[in-house]
Chains A and B, each alone.
Chain A
Amino acid sequence: GENVEQHPSTLSVQEGDSAVIKCTYSDSASNYFPWYKQELGKRPQLIIDIRSNVGEKKDQRIAVTLNKTAKHFSLHITETQPEDSAVYFCAAWDSGTYKYIFGTGTRLKVLA
């Protein structure tokens, strides 16, 4: 079955700097890769996603890149702000089982 690995587990950046979180997946049948943000005590919420027919997608300060050959995808946050502090989860959707498998999360702390 699908396995998703996420790194780093924690990340601290200065306000205004960029943050990058990386994930790898194992099942080549996966073709949809969402990213969720979870603030303390809240539910995970989708912030951006990418499908396997696209290499990069951008939404304001957030971008995601996908390398299907290497089976990895990354979240890029530019000009970080304190409100970006949260736990970020990557996930992969397995088209064979319809499962959404999540990475273990990255706790991002933006220092003012």
Chain B
Amino acid sequence: DAGVIQSPRHEVTEMGQEVTLRCKPISGHNSLFWYRQTMMRGLELLIYFNNNVPIDDSGMPEDRFSAKMPNASFSTLKIQPSEPRDSAVYFCASNPDIGIPGELFFGEGSRLTVL
């Protein structure tokens, strides 16, 4: 398996623009997590899914952020409109079974810069 695949790897955009980050989890994994990483706040859990259903989105910073998982092999994180303070690395991670604790497999991350 190629692992968790994220795109784009780098995104530079201007304030106010819409940003869409994409993630393909490892095949057969039923849970998916979106994290945001900054120097100041470390790894923050934004939202997670189980069997394509959002379980907890309490970490989503505000209404400008939304996430979907239309099927088992694809998830998106959307920011609209984007702001400079959204600049961060966004990681997607998957796990075989949400109810059994184990390794989180992270993607390479999407580095977002909002000017």
Question: What is A's interface to B at a CB cutoff of 8 Å?
Answer: 31-32, 34, 36, 42-46, 49, 51, 89, 93, 95, 97-105
Contacts and interface: CB of A to CB of B under 8 A. Distances in A.
A45 B101 contact: no
Contacts of B35: 102
Contact of B42 (A34, A100, A102): A102
Contact of B101 (A95, A103, A104): A95
A100 B103 contact: no
B75 interface: no
Nearest to A89: B43
Interface residues of B, number: 22
A36 B37 CA distance: 14
A34 B98 contact: no
Contacts of B33: 100
Given A43-B107, A45-B106, A98 B99 contact: yes
B81 to A, nearest CB: 28
Interface in B24-73: 31, 33, 35, 41-43, 45, 48, 50, 55-56
Nearest to A97: B56
